[in-house]
Chains A and B, each alone.
Chain A
């Protein structure tokens, strides 16, 4: 067991973990952040995406000990005082989720994508989400949600038409 100190969603935690414990398991099982989910065992699906010091990582490809001394933000830490993060709101407005299993990872990745490239083209959004699989939505509304949050984009309410 190794002791680690991690700030998760603004709260400091000190815990003992096994060296082999993955960050996603630590978050889910020890901190109780079950909003972050596991979709695969080969780091292909992106369901587990969180932010580590503000940048997206697949938390199944990071050991908990590697996050020692760092800040982790999960889907549960995005809303501030009950106010949804604009990307959460955009996913809702644009019907960018169905079963919602990919959604936490997809939202975290989308935020990171716009941090890196605030006004991406549709193609750049699609490429930026390549590591996050969704089996339900066909991606179109996810792409639309992300583009609605790009710099200089239409406001979400203007982008609300149901038909494309």
Chain B
């Protein structure tokens, strides 16, 4: 029973086609919404149209009488069972937070909050009855503008007495990681101050969230389209007062998450509570509109930066004053999102002094939480934008200013001013490669020619030399940051009697390809064929321990747990192999799936050994007949992938249209397990980052109604909106894990947004423009050009965030005018709106 044939010398590094594809390309996928259980009931939610109000009455009688309706449940009905939705990351001891009921009881705090739940025999009947619930509200003042809210005035939660949830500070002088930033600013030869705005975004995973609960067994089982089955199980137990051992959570196939499914949701709690109360299986699947309205949003920060530098462009200090909009409540990790950015503002640079102050603000909007990159895209955007401003001030190429400040290859490991220890990296190598692939010098020459000839289509080149911290995270660091849980990951490797291998992982993939990558790792470690490894995940009864998938942690933490478990299998097998080979353990070597006795031909394959252990007829004295092993791996450090992203944008100065002509990036994610998967992660990440730069924005009107409430208005880009990317890699293996890997899931999103905006600003800088607020729609770009030529302040320099300008409904960046359809846009007529988007898109100059 040899199992070592037909194996490449190394699986790691091969572009293996994915194992998980077969079910996905044939439609045999197990999405939560596909599940039907006997006697299953369907839930629909009644949601508040009011952003802030007191519930004065709820009349459910008509809904109850509607065909097929079994029950109508209000917040008051389940007030005792539903508990308060958890926030696992209180960033300060005095952090303020309101109670967070799944169904609102007395007040509603954002439009979209659930006020009642319909239970009916069919989904259509449940939805029909939603309209029949009559809820009366007394309006309360609506708080929407986080900058104003930070100062006082109307309160989102009057009981808290303030809109500020917490203030969090990092100061390099206090932490002993650097000097005092105020001194640096005092002494600075160049001081640059900028305010950047991170618009509110919507994660927009393609599979709407869905939940099925079966309460009929000894354990209550929940299927949920979640990234975090393990965390969810614990949190549901704590929130609803159910014994953890009575719950089983399954994340079957999950259609994307991007942080948006890193949550304990009201809908999950409601489906659980209602189903247990009725003793019947229940299903809830959200509509896309509900998802956009009430699944958590991302970003939404105002960043004020003060940077000091010497005349030669050497940065001497950076001060960041941040406002972060929490929305109405604190979700699972809401308060911690901006804090994840705190360690990244210094990026790849050697800043001697740094101070970061963040205020978390409540407003009457959907709550924000993790969205791909979570804190790090915001930080990266701000620093990469302001480094360009410094380059302009000093009068050198943006690349030059970066080189003057970045950490040199020979300076690793490097302790940063934010207190991180970067293990490895080579910014020069990635940059050289990217510049060459991109044709940097040639494009600069073309840019010069176009400027000189006054071409109406100007060329801009955007640079983003980013790093990020991911692989969340060393447990002790999370503890120091007041996060409630650790950052370890768990894995089990089971040797089956036939020599096949089952791997149980605590990570919970939803598109990342763990089944393939983990198989490659185990195939190499145990010397078994790739196809002999089966990876199981996403069920708390199968892979019982785990901390799930987010923060680009799966490979660097979860993959390492798999390595550790596989190594334990080998250790357990050794004495048994020695016994069977009648050799001394010290004379054994394990290679390519076989234990051999040094200096002889005697050997035994691990598959053969697995069968011998299964039969257990001939075991050494005192050794248990099992090769199975489990391991819990706690990382010693974060991982710090980096890369150089270059973007060439053509800006039509007559229409404001910005078209990406070239996008080239060279990423360094350390060792690569599967280049196909890595490249796919980069592509997808790039598009989400570019979408922030150009298209997406969740917008509320003055009454707190989300006006971008469907895919008609919230502009997720299509294939037609995106350019072809040129991607490549350099490889600086991580020294803090045995695989040498770094995270890749968020890199593209973190890097690309500033590359695009830097390119647009670069195209227009000679016109006196130094910023365009995101998303850089044709209208915003056009307005900036117009106001510069007429000598006004550009909209982007206005610090009134509520005055955020028009969204463009033209999703076609690479094409000419599309239909405008801005007639109903509530922002038409604002001060900075000299024309409607449709006119602008049509070139109304």
Binding site for B on A (CB under 8 A): 18, 20, 28, 33-42, 44-45, 47, 74-76, 78-79, 84, 88, 91-93, 95, 97-104, 107, 122, 125-127, 129-143, 160, 162-164
Contact = CB atoms under 8 A, between A and B. Distances in A.
B15 interface: yes
B716 A142 contact: no
A137 B207 contact: no
B288 A40 contact: yes
Nearest to A89: B25
Contact of B208 (A38, A76, A100): A38
Chain A binding surface SS class: loop
A20 B128 CA distance: 12
Contact of A129 (B22, B24, B718): B718
B256 A136 contact: yes
B82 to A, nearest CB: 27
Nearest to B748: A138
B787 interface: no
A76 B27 contact: yes
Contact of B205 (A127, A135, A143): A135
Scoring A20, A84, A164 by chain B CB atoms within 10 A of each residue's CB, the highest score goes to A164
Given A42-B711, A98-B684, A163-B675, A143 B719 contact: yes
12 contacts: A35-B26, A44-B710, A45-B288, A92-B21, A95-B677, A101-B205, A135-B205, A135-B206, A135-B256, A135-B716, A141-B683, A163-B729
Interface in B202-258: 204-208, 253-256, 258
Contacts of B205: 99, 101, 135
Contacts of A88: 25-26
Nearest to B14: A162
Scoring B254, B718, B719 by chain A CB atoms within 10 A of each residue's CB, the highest score goes to B719
* Size bin of chain B's contact surface: 35 or more
A135 B748 CA distance: 13
A97 B26 contact: no
Nearest to B682: A138
Given A34-B34, A42-B711, A162-B675, A84 B25 contact: yes
Contacts of A95: 17-18, 676-677, 679-680
A136 B288 contact: no
Interface in B655-689: 675-677, 679-680, 682-688
Chain B binding surface SS class: mixed
Interface stretch (B90-98, B171-179, B506-514, B608-616): B506-514
B25 A97 contact: yes
B17 A75 contact: no
Interface in B27-56: 27-29, 31, 33-34
Contacts of B511: 98-100, 136
Contacts of A140: 683, 722, 724-725
B206 A47 contact: yes
A138 B686 contact: yes
Given A133-B711, A133-B716, A97 B24 contact: yes
B565 to A, nearest CB: 26
B835 interface: no
Given A42-B288, A133-B206, A139-B719, A99 B255 contact: yes
B799 interface: no
A40 B31 CA distance: 15
Given A40-B288, A135-B684, A135-B688, 4 more contacts: A20-B124, A101-B256, A130-B720, A138-B725
